[in-house]
Amino acid sequence: MVRNWSGVLVVGFAALIAVPAWSADWPGWRGADRTGVSPEKGLLKEWPKDGPPLAWQVGDLGYGYRSPAIVGGRVYLTANKGMDDEYVLALDAKDGKKIWSTTLGKVGKNTAMPYPAARSTPTVDGDVLYVLGSDGDLACVETAGGKIRWQKSLRTDFAGKPGTWAYAESPLVDGDTLIVTPGGEKASLVALHKSSGEVIWKAAVPTATKGGDTAAYSSVIVAEVDGRREYIQFLQTGVVGVDAKTGAFLWKYDATGKGPANIATAVTKGDLVYTAGGGRAPIAGLVRLKPEGDKVKAEQVYLEGGLPSSIGGAVLVNGLLYGTTAQASCAPTSPPAR
């Protein structure tokens, strides 16, 4: 169990797993494959009467709307103190002691109701991690000591256009490629060489009025559909797919992109994609992807309210979707499966 609020990180792993230590790493947002499903075995089926014993507690870590990555006995997370410093830090998973801290940049400004804070879960890949600050500062950081190998600004390097609440994305590593979402007319999505930060391609995703959709608050996933590898992302006006090799725009589905904040990570299975938009009237939809020449058609299977649509997203387990809405928990719902 990991909870974070007001600068306090509380950990109580021991009672969740019947063995003395955990074996699987959790290298980024929703785990290694971004499904939110843990591969751990031997979990307790019931809570102990007095709850899980506290392993350790650390205060004064700053603030943030993010989750930690846990790899090789270390906990990595982003945080901020005030509006001047946003940083990524490493803690020892055994006792919570800070190992290093590296400044990323400023905290991104909000243009509506203010919730300024760090928002990115680091993505750990070998001896480095990739992290995005809420003001668009993207960095490749060495896990050993926190040294920055290379850094980009989504705002200045790619004319990025974040949403109302600044940038809130966890970078995706796919082989030698790093995918992030600057937003805007020049690079709605961008693919970089992960070792150098050099650009591989830029993808400008069209909207109803102009090219280049604004970044929202979701994170990219990768999918194989009919032999084509593509990246799927929830942008400000809808969920989209682009070709993984070239960045070519393939498809868009806007029915779930009507709310003020598109946050939940998409869930895929085969040629099916499930997305859910938040807001006062949350709605979720399932589409089936069908190739049509050089493009792809996103054919709607269903569009309904009352399905898993809250910020944390949904998980697919044994053909059933589990999740919550902003109002109440949801029962298992129609699966993204044939």
Max mean pLDDT among 46-60, 167-181, 253-267 falls in 167-181
Beta bridge partners of 153: 137
Residue 186 located in a structural domain: no
The reported pLDDT for the residue numbered 75 is 97
- Pair (20, 152) in one structural domain: yes
**In this prediction, what percent of the chain has a pLDDT beyond 70?**
87
Token output for 294: 């050089």
Indicate whether 125 and 70 sit together in one domain: yes
Q: How many structural domains are present in the chain?
A: 2
Residue 216's identity, in one-letter code, is: A
Rg of the chain over Cα atoms, rounded to whole angstroms, equals: 19
Structural domain for 49, as ranges: 1-170
In a domain, 262, yes or no: yes
User: Residue 2: is its pLDDT beyond 50?
Assistant: no
CA triplet 44, 4, 8: central angle to 5 degrees? 115
Span 219-229, average pLDDT: 95
pTM value is: 0.89
Last residue of a domain, one of 106, 138, 170: 170
User: What separation in angstroms does the CA of 86 have from each of 80, 98, 132, 134, 147?
Assistant: 4, 16, 10, 8, 15
**CA-CA distances (angstroms) from residue 300 to 169, 250, 324, 336?**
26, 16, 22, 12
Q: What element of type H or E holds 70?
A: strand 69-71
The tens digit of pLDDT for each residue in 280-291 reads 667 899 999 999
C-alpha distances in angstroms, 235 versus 62, 242, 257? Answer: 28, 12, 8
Based on the domain organization, do 232 and 164 belong to the same domain? no
Mean pLDDT of 250-278: 92
For 121-163, list the strands marked E by DSSP: 123-125, 128-132, 137-142, 148-153
Q: Is the pLDDT of residue 128 over 50?
A: yes
> pLDDT confidence of 307, banded at 50, 70, 90?
confident
pLDDT confidence tier of residue 311, bands split at 50, 70 and 90: confident
Residue 2 shares a structural domain with residue 99: yes
* 211-227 average pLDDT score: 92
Is the domain of 145 the same as that of 9?
yes
Residue 200 lies in a domain: no
**How far apart, in Å, are the Cα atoms of 307 and each of 59, 218, 284, 329?**
36, 18, 6, 9
Same domain, 124 and 237: no
Asked whether residue 187 is assigned to any structural domain, the reply reads: no
Given a cut of 60, whether residue 19 has pLDDT beyond it is no
Are the CB atoms for 130 and 194 separated by under 8 Å?
A: yes
Task: Clarify whether residues 84 and 145 are in a common domain.
Answer: yes
List the one residue out of 318, 242, 326 whose CA is nearest residue 281.
326
Based on the fold, state whether residues 3 and 78 are members of the same structural domain.
yes
Same domain membership, residue 155 and residue 47: yes
Same domain, 240 and 326: yes
Question: Using one digit for the tens of pLDDT, what is the confidence trace for 84-97?
Answer: 899 999 999 999 99
155 domain-assigned = yes
Q: Is residue 145 located within the same domain as residue 231? A: no
In a domain, residue 177? The reply is no
Q: Which of 170, 193, 225 is the last residue of a domain?
A: 170
Task: Give the span between the Cα atoms of 44 and 30, in whole angstroms.
Answer: 21
CATH of the domain at 265: 2.40.128.630
Same-domain status, 91 and 228? no
Distance of CA 142 to the CA centre of its chain: 20
pLDDT value at residue 33: 95
Residue where one domain finishes, among candidates 144, 170, 196: 170
Query: What pLDDT was estimated at residue 17?
Result: 36
